[in-house]
Amino acid sequence: MAGLAYQPRGRNSNQELPRGSGLGVAALLIVLLFVFAPRMNLENLSIGAYDSLIRVLARRDGVTSDSKPGPQNPELLMYKEASTVSVRKDWGITSLAINGRTNASDSEDMPTQVMLGQMPLLLAPNIKNGMVVGFASGVSAGAMLQSPLGALDCVELEPATVEAASYFEHVNHRPLTDPRLRVIMTTPGPTCASPKRDTT
Distance of CA 162 to the CA centre of its chain: 10
> What pLDDT, on the 0 to 100 scale, is given for residue 31?
81
Alpha-carbon span 71 to 83, nearest angstrom = 30
> What pLDDT, on the 0 to 100 scale, is given for residue 157?
87
> What pLDDT, on the 0 to 100 scale, is given for residue 199?
46
Length of the chain: 200
Residue 123 belongs to what H/E stretch? helix 110-123
CA dihedral (5, 9, 10, 16) positive or negative: negative
Residues of the chain with pLDDT under 70: 1-20, 40-74, 80-82, 187-200
Residues 179 and 197 sit within 8 Å (Cβ to Cβ): yes
Per-residue pLDDT of 48-98, as tens digits, reads 665 555 565 566 555 554 455 555 666 778 776 667 888 999 888 999 988
pTM over the 0.75 mark = no
Alpha-carbon span 79 to 81, nearest angstrom = 7
To the nearest 10°, report the CA torsion of 167, 191, 140, 157.
100
> What pLDDT, on the 0 to 100 scale, is given for residue 153?
95
Distance of CA 120 to the CA centre of its chain: 27
Q: How many helices (H) and strands (E) does the chain have?
A: 7, 7
Q: Edge-to-edge, what's the strand order for the sheet holding 85-90? A: 75-80, 85-90, 93-98, 101-105
